[in-house]
Amino acid sequence: MTRASHRMRLSWFRLPKAGAHWAEYEDAIGINRAALRFAVADGATESFASAAWARLLALNWVAEPEGISPERFQVMVGRLGAGLHEEWSRAELAWYAEEKAKRGSHAAFAGLQLAEFGDLLMWTAIALGDACLMVRNGGKLSESFPLSSPDQFGTRPIMVPSLASNQPDALSHLAIKMGTARPGDIFLLMTDAAAAWYLVQSEMAGSVLAEFDSLLANRRHDALTRLLEAERTARRLRNDDIAILRIAFDEAGSM
Amino acid sequence: MYRFQDGNPSYIAEISRTAPTLFIFLLDQSESMEDPFGGSGAVSKAAFISDAVNRVLHDLVIRSTKTEEVRNYYYISVIGYGSTVGPAMAGPLAGRELVSIAEVADYPARIEIRSKTVADASGQTSTSPVRFPIWVDPKSENGTPMCQALQRAKDLAAEWVSDHPHGFPPTILHLTDGESNDGNPITLAREIKALATTDGNVLIFNCHTSTNRAAKVEYPEDPSRLPDEFARLLWEMSSILPERFRRTAMDLGLTLDEGAAGFVFNADPSAVVQFFEIGSTSTARLI
């Protein structure tokens, strides 16, 4: 167990699209506290078995050995995709399910690796699509990766495909970014609807972000649900599945 | 809350199992549909259009497929008019005026095996067998009772908006190759366009196919560009393309001004395919 993991405070929140059941929820959160490795993934609604694909990506990525590289990500995605398609090819599927399965599944992905170097805490993020890492400090947003503007959401992003033939092209768009954590940094991994909303709120005076962060940190899920449902009703938050993972550290001691 | 800009409906309602939308395919099955497009070619307009409708239904099924389940985001009505006016699907769904997309998925009349040409990364082409479900067979008999068909579509759409007052409104995709012979359809078309949910008015898009080699006119915003009274009548019967439909059309390479009507005159086969693509895929992002 690392020193950082001792001081780490994790909280997460999931909410399905309004009007949908939990069984239809297609986002996923992966947590490996010991390895300081975290991920969110967002299965593309229009593709086949996207919830399963998002879960596979998030849970397997956090279980991978420490370190991030595009090559390792490609190997993992290739292995997981092949396994999934093999499973589907063995299943007896109706004509439409078989055809949809052949087109594969897609998911947006954002992963975060934290690593201690002496007193320093370094972070590395890897992402494809519109799931994002936000870094907030002292009420200000200091990082938004890979998308940094609300205008960048809403188009069809390139996502992680399960189908091997689609992987080389899609994964060539993988984005990686590194940074050094500062005392007080709060890391937030979010799927697209929440990320787009968060970016808009960050630019607004009198936004609800302080309340949002307090509710999230204190795991007040009922109150957080009410807040986000109100934001949906006001059409400030797009009605989509939500996955948010918050990683913060107690202030005691240096980073 | 629904956003209305300049008094226009916004066509932004989410499409879900609890708030599905309706597609009505209105198909001219009169005798002249037996003729080929543009006066040449082996395939009749009726055969080409039934294939095009089958392809749209197939795509709507695939779009609604989640894992092994088809979710009822869409309801479908296919109405043919020619020797009779009524439901035009064959097989287990014959005689059904309104069916869910899950029923469409589970009950094609038959599944044909056709060959599809695919190109690999190096550009080499090869053919592979693909399953092609059939729900609608070509038919071409007698006259063009367009008004009766529009009346059926209007009744269906009226019932739908009454049952789904806040949903994405029904979309009617009408294909014809000739003038109505049971009256002037303009009043019915206006009545259809006046039906609305809180999200927008019912949409009716018209596609005219021609046996002549006359130049096609696609999605005109100005009826003065049209060659005759019949074309202007169909233009007036057509809804203005809402923005998301206009964007789909532009993604397909068409250049359309604001105010473009959902109307194609003298459509060739590619224009028919595009017409269905614009009419049926523009709402995909609302799921």
Count the neighbouring beta carbons within 10 Å of the beta carbon of residue A90.
8
Question: What pLDDT is recorded for position A147?
Answer: 95
Question: Which distant-in-sequence residues (6+ apart) come within 8 Å of A204 by Cβ?
Answer: none
Binned at pLDDT 50, 70 and 90, residue A253 comes out as very low
**Mean pLDDT of chain B, nearest integer:** 89
| Residue A39 · residue A77 · CB < 8 Å | no
Name the residue in chain B with its Cα closest to that of A238: B14
Residues of A within 8 A of B68 (CB-CB) are 93-94, 97
Q: Give the lowest-confidence range in A11-15, B37-41, B79-83, B171-175.
A: B37-41
Across the interface, whether the CB atoms of A96 and B62 are under 8 A apart is answered yes
Helix axes A209-217, A192-202, angle to 10 degrees: 130
Residue B102 has pLDDT above 60, yes or no: yes
Please write the tens of the pLDDT for every residue from B7-30.
455 898 989 888 999 999 999 999
State the average pLDDT over residues A78-103.
94
Question: For residue B5, what pLDDT band results from cuts at 50, 70 and 90?
Answer: very low
Q: Which tens digit of pLDDT belongs to each residue from A140-153?
A: 999 999 999 999 99
With a cut of 70, say whether residue B159 has pLDDT above it: yes
Rg (CA), chain A: 18
Instruction: Tell me if B106 and A94 make a contact (CB, 8 A cut-off).
Output: yes
Q: Look at residue B179 in the predicted model and tell me its pLDDT.
A: 85
How do residues B124-145 score in pLDDT, each as one tens digit?
A: 888 888 889 999 999 988 889 9
Among B140, B242, B137, B146, smallest CA distance to B186 is for B146
- Which of A53, A90, A96 would you mutate first to test chain B, the one with the most B CBs within 10 A? A96
ipTM greater than 0.85: no
Residue B186 to residues A8, B209, B214, B226, B278: CA-CA distances in angstroms? 69, 19, 24, 17, 23
A36's tokens: 């300081």
Contact flag A93-B3 (C-beta cutoff 8 Å):
no
Residue A125: pLDDT above 70? yes
pLDDT tops 70 at residue A22: yes
**CA atoms A210, A213, A217, A222: torsion sign:** positive
Q: What is the mean pLDDT of residues B246-265?
A: 92
Judged against a pLDDT cut of 60, whether residue A3 lies above it is answered with yes
Measure in Å the smallest separation between the Cα of B270 and chain A Cα atoms: 24
Minimum Cα–Cα distance from A234: chain B residue:
B1
Question: What is the average pLDDT score of chain A?
Answer: 92
Q: Are A243 and A194 in contact (CB under 8 A)?
A: yes
Contact A4, A241 (CB under 8 A): no
Question: Per-residue pLDDT averaged across B111-117, rounded?
Answer: 87
Q: Which residues of A touch B62 (CB under 8 A)?
A: 96, 99-100, 103
Looking at CA atoms only, how far is residue A45 from chain B in angstroms?
8
pLDDT at A241 over 50: yes
Of A19, A93, A96, the CB nearest to B18: A19
pLDDT of residue A85: 96
Q: Does the structure show a pLDDT above 50 at A124? A: yes
* Cβ <8 Å between B284 and A93: no
Strands B21-28 and B74-81 come out as parallel
Shortest CB distance from B65 goes to which of A24, A48, A233? A48
pLDDT classification of A133: cutoffs 50, 70, 90: very high
Region B276-281: what's the mean pLDDT?
Answer: 89
pLDDT score, position A255: 42
> Closest residue of A to B285, CA-based?
A46
SS (H, E, C) chain A: CCHHHHHEEEEEEEECCCCCCHHHCCEEEEEECCCCEEEEEEECCCCCCHHHHHHHHHHHHHHCCCCCCHHHHHHHHHHHHHHHHHHHHHCCCCHHHHHHHHHCCEEEEEEEEEEEECCEEEEEEEEECCCEEEEEECCEEEEEECCCCHHHCCCCCCCEECCHHHHHHHHCCCEEEEEECCCCCEEEEECHHHHHHHHHHHCCCCCCHHHHHHHHHCCCHHHHHHHHHHHHHCCCCCCCCEEEEEEEECCCCCC
In tens, the pLDDT along A52-74 reads: 999 999 999 999 988 889 999 99
User: pLDDT tens, B40-64?
Assistant: 667 888 999 999 999 999 999 999 9
pLDDT in tens, A135-189: 999 889 999 999 999 999 977 799 999 999 999 999 999 999 999 999 999 999 9
Lowest mean pLDDT among A17-21, A39-43, A79-83: A17-21
CA distance A82 to A72: 15
Q: CA-to-CA distance for A25 and A243, rounded, in angstroms?
A: 10
Give the pLDDT of residue B90.
96
Q: By the CB < 8 Å criterion, does B133 face chain A?
A: yes
- In this predicted model, what pLDDT tens digit does every residue of B196-236 receive, in sequence order? 999 999 999 999 987 776 788 999 999 988 888 999 999 99
Predicted confidence (pLDDT) at residue B6 exceeds the cutoff of 80: no
What does the pLDDT read at residue A2? 56
Closest C-alpha to B82, from B33, B29, B125, B129: B29
Average pLDDT of the segment spanning A224-244: 95
Structure-token pair, residue B108: 């094609």
pLDDT at residue A97 tops 60: yes
Other Cβ atoms within 10 Å of A184 Cβ, number:
13
Q: What does pTM read for this prediction?
A: 0.83
Option in A19, A50, A96 nearest B16 (CB): A19
Residue B121 is predicted with a pLDDT of: 66
At B50 the pLDDT is 93
Of the candidates B117, B72, B76, B70, which has an alpha carbon nearest to the alpha carbon of residue B99? B76
